[in-house]
Amino acid sequence: METIFLVLNFISEHIITPLFLHLSNWLVILLIRPMDFLHIAMPLQVFLLGILTALLSWRLRTILKIPERTEAFRRLFQRKKQEQGMLAKGIDNKYARDALLRVSDEEIDEEYNAFMADYFSRYATAYLLPAVVAMAWIQNAFPKTLLFEKTGSPLLIDLGNKIPGIQGLSVAAVFLAAYLLSLICLFSYQGFKKRRRGRQILKEGT
């Protein structure tokens, strides 16, 4: 067991940590340095990085086929329920019908649990993982020492007690606000497109 811990510690210190440090440095060069060159204010930089992370999550959502898998399970669930109802109608014996429904419900529950496990793992990969990793990197790229140097405050946006009870906004708060607002806009736009497509289908049908 001690040997395993030593190997894992070696991998972490000499492979994983240096890899993340190099990746972090490259992201700073590719994303933050150009914004510094353009004299973009730090709060706006963090906000833009939140938008980019939301776009990455949206792309991962497409790659992982989350909408397609959700729709496929919804159709499967409806079909199973319809088949269950049709089979139950064909059985006159109450006990046999109840036994059939119980077995059928257990089968549907197993499929539902499997779907939910897959669903949450894909959502975590598409949304939670990018947000957590990006936020950790951004907080490292905008440390409090840099904020003190640029703004004289450990906060990204110092409101100076202009709002009672709120001193200001941290890097994490601005990033998460941008990330969540971007996702809300993306989902709203997708819903708008679906509704418009539905209205067009209805018009063509009439």
Q: What is the pLDDT of residues 66-81, one digit of tens each?
A: 888 888 888 888 887 7
> Cβ distance 135 to 176 under 8 Å?
yes
Structure tokens at 15: 């492979």
pLDDT(65) > 80: yes
What does the alpha-carbon distance between residue 142 and residue 121 come to, in Å, rounded to a whole number? 30
Q: Return the percentage of the chain with pLDDT > 70, whole number.
A: 82
Cα–Cα distances in angstroms (integers) from residue 118 to residues 28, 41, 63, 111, 122, in the given order: 34, 40, 14, 11, 6
Query: What is the spatial distance between Cα 84 and Cα 105, in angstroms, rounded to a whole number?
Result: 9
pLDDT digits (tens, 9 = 90+) for 82-140: 777 777 676 666 777 677 677 777 887 888 888 888 888 988 999 999 999 999 999 88
Residue appearing with tokens 């109840």: 98
**169 in Cβ contact with 156 (< 8 Å):** yes
Which residue did the predictor score with more confidence, 29 or 160? 29
Domain ranges of the chain: 42-201
Lowest mean pLDDT among 15-19, 28-32, 39-43: 15-19
CA distances from 72 to 88, 109, 117, 138, 159 (A): 24, 16, 15, 37, 48
